[in-house]
Structure 1
Amino acid sequence: MVVKDTVLDFVTNYGYYGLFLSLVLGIVGLPIPDEILMTYCGYLVSQSVLNYWFTLLTALLGSMTGITISYWLGRRLGLPVVEKFGRRLGVTEARLAKVNGWYARFGKIVLMIGYFIPGIRHVTAFAAGMSRMKYPPFALFAYLGGLIWTFTFITLGKSLGVHWAQVSEITHRFVLWFVLLLVVVGLALGLYYWRKRKV
């Protein structure tokens, strides 16, 4: 894959700056393999090329910046942007309709799990902006999701070391279900303790 090789070379040559810029552009909508990129950066951490904590911080800032840009594009420009540039950024009306349906069923939690669905993460933020979701709740769920997402793949790459490439292209499928399980368990525990306090 030409895009994959280009992005990995870019990060190899420019380190933290390359990681930050690649994640910003990938989340806004360019076809950048974000999960593979972060798993590779985790591998570079395992080889002492990058520092683990700086890599995590850079990835988190990149994801926060990209998701925030998508949110404000949706809030300020909305549907006209979708009609004019949507296909180039992967924000189609069909995807927006799908994400809006998820919002109706699952609420703001979609902002957290959307990171783990390639081609959807930037649409969740755009849809949140279009729906006029207030910035504080958007930031809480979107940035928390970004933290879980970046931590998961960078730590995975660090743990796998030289074997990162063998599984990096399929891990997002399993990680998504793992995160969904954590979210469900967390919500169930939260509901349990909330009801217990009400009694």
Structure 2
Amino acid sequence: MDLETLESILDEFNYIGLFLWLWLGVFGAPIPNEVIVMTIGFASSTDVLISPYAFITVYLGIVGALTTCYLLGRLLGKPLLKWMKQKKRKNHSLEKAIRFMNKYHTFSLPLSYFLPGFRNIVPFLYGLSKLSYKKFALLSYSAALVWVTGVFFLGYWFGEEIDSNQIVIEEVVIVALAILIVFTVLMVWKRKKRRAKAHSE
């Protein structure tokens, strides 16, 4: 995605078009999310976008995509799962995602967004497994905020100077940070749950 494409979306649809591109584009766009978000970050350092609006739009678009995947799993999970198993490539991705979930359990949800092969399918599978929306939102949205912040500001500060190798390194750093944040959120949530249980008794 280049600045000309971004400017054409903004000229025609404003920030709503940008939101829709991020929300629906992840299901069919051939451009990696990292490239899109970094381009938007870079554009925010110029006169093309207003930084706060761009960041909020990016985050809401990503959250919208994650929520859609979750709801598809929760509402249409079984028919979609059957269809995916009939497609060789999708079935392979499905099997990898299931192994990933079995290995990391609940942590696989926040971690999935940092791994391009899992970021859409894992929320779908957790929707299929009927994970509560409250728990899904807590884990998924917090991880998305960390990811969006890291990638957006990489584009904002470094723009076109970042090559693919640097992106991989920065992604690893962001993953480590995400693990720390998610672990902290889980500890706080469990502590509150224990306190609520103690009060009820």
Specify if TM > 0.5: yes
DSSP-derived class of the 2:26 partner: helix
Distance in 1 separating the partners of 2:5 and 2:64? 19
Q: Deviation digits for residues 124-171 of structure 1, max 9, x if unmatched?
A: 1111111111111001111111111111111111101xxx23425444
2:142 maps to a residue whose letter is L
Q: Which residue of 2 aligns with 1:38?
A: 37
CA RMSD of aligned residues (A): 3.0
Distance in 2 separating the partners of 1:126 and 1:132? 10
Distance in 2 separating the partners of 1:85 and 1:109? 24
Q: Which residue of 1 aligns with 2:101?
A: 103
2:37 maps to a residue whose letter is M
Contact residue 109 and residue 139 of structure 2 kept, 8 A: yes
Instruction: Return the offset for 1:24.
Output: 1.0
Q: Which residue of 2 aligns with 1:115?
A: 113
Distance in 1 separating the partners of 2:68 and 2:89? 13
Instruction: Return the offset for 1:81.
Output: 1.5
Q: Which residue of 1 aligns with 2:91?
A: 93
1:35 maps to a residue whose letter is E
TM-score (norm 2): 0.77
Equivalent runs, 1:14-53 vs 2, <5 Å: 14-15=9-10, 16-53=15-52
Q: Which residue of 2 aligns with 1:131?
A: 129
Distance in 1 separating the partners of 2:100 and 2:175? 14
Contact residue 82 and residue 92 of structure 1 kept, 8 A: no
Instruction: Return the offset for 1:91.
Output: 8.1
- Which ranges in structure 2 are unaligned for 5 or more consecutive residues? 191-201
- Which ranges in structure 1 are unaligned for 5 or more consecutive residues? 195-199
Aligned residues: 184
Distance in 1 separating the partners of 2:105 and 2:82? 25
Identity rate of aligned residues, in percent? 28
Q: Which residue of 2 aligns with 1:197?
A: none
Distance in 1 separating the partners of 2:119 and 2:113? 5
Contact residue 41 and residue 157 of structure 1 kept, 8 A: yes
Instruction: Return the offset for 1:77.
Output: 1.3
Instruction: Return the offset for 1:87.
Output: 8.4
Contact residue 29 and residue 122 of structure 1 kept, 8 A: no
Distance in 2 separating the partners of 1:124 and 1:57? 24
Q: Which residue of 2 aligns with 1:178?
A: 173
Say if 2:8 is the partner of 1:13. yes
Instruction: Return the offset for 1:175.
Output: 2.8
Q: 1:21 to 1:101 in 2, by over 3 A?
A: same
Q: Which residue of 2 aligns with 1:140?
A: 138
TM-score (norm 1): 0.77
1:78 maps to a residue whose letter is G
